A and B are shown apart, each in its own frame.
Chain A
């Protein structure tokens, strides 16, 4: 299933664990919060993406189906 990584910015506490596990798709900003590649997760990185999701201690990271709305108005 094609999906993109998405962080819940309210839940995210800026641990940066995700960026350590998946530097190909996640960087951290100068305050320690994740900057996520918005493109669909390529097949070769799907396992890594799932690992990052389950490693997030705040349960803030998930793989979203592409068509989901991003945010509220």
Chain B
């Protein structure tokens, strides 16, 4: 029994932010779109809480605030540089963030992805879950002409295939469209959702209404590995997580679960989550190879968007916004080709790359292109400096009869001892280069 399934304009593989942005934009413009998701429902594979950057979504669904399941509006950002028992931190809290419309929100991905998918379906795309794409179909000339799924009679054809299947993108790797991800280009992050009564969250973080806080952490918590940790406040829960480069974890023989346990016990973190109940635990890979690790982004009949293309800004922990933006740009490229009556050849799809170059996606990735390498080869940023900073703060804020000039000198000497003066200058230069 072979039944043929009709042909589509576009098949989108994956229903995360990238796939949803692409499918929504195409369906809204009247394209015949099929979106396939291997999970039981969109978001079922994405259980964590996260930060949503309004701008990227606003460009796709301008009035998303009316119906999207948003947890809290981020009005305060803290940066903590941590030592084993202390942290030095900055806080930026601005009531300007409180003025509507918000700029960043905390969300629970499982809920958000589900909502986004409903919008995709309302826009007219056919969304089918519990279908895993296992291979790409090609014609004799090698052009991608559809996908094969893990079910009987599972060959489905389309003019273009958009791969939005996330960091592992087995489909792309298997089809030889990109190399397997390397441990040095990917971070392993673990995250817990810790439930607390709404009032407790608000009291502990000095919040009212739907205000929210984000804390970014680095220092001794990553045990010298390249990595950072984060804490976000949701309505009645806290998302707490830590991520480190996979290659580092392998070398140090640590598990992410161990790191997270230590983080939870850190004297600065423990009181914030005390009494809470952990109900969700998720581990996930984050592509952090940055600009230098980007694969081919398009070819004959196919495009890569979101994590599967490696679009993550590790420094700012931005991923879903780049995913949504790249998904939208891929869709807009196909709409442009459609208007002009052009086929999805590699030459024509090059317009997608041009659009990316012109957007936050590749502009930011280019700007931060040296960060992964810098953090890799220059461990002092992650181990020595946090220790020194905390030592310095301790020295400076301990009122013990010592005059401030002597204190400053002691601090300076401590830095000098750990890193030569030349090394210090070099570090400043390297960090500046990396973020430039």
Say if A and B assemble together: no
Binding site for A on B (CB under 8 A): none
> Using a CB–CB distance below 8 Å, which chain A residues touch chain B?
none
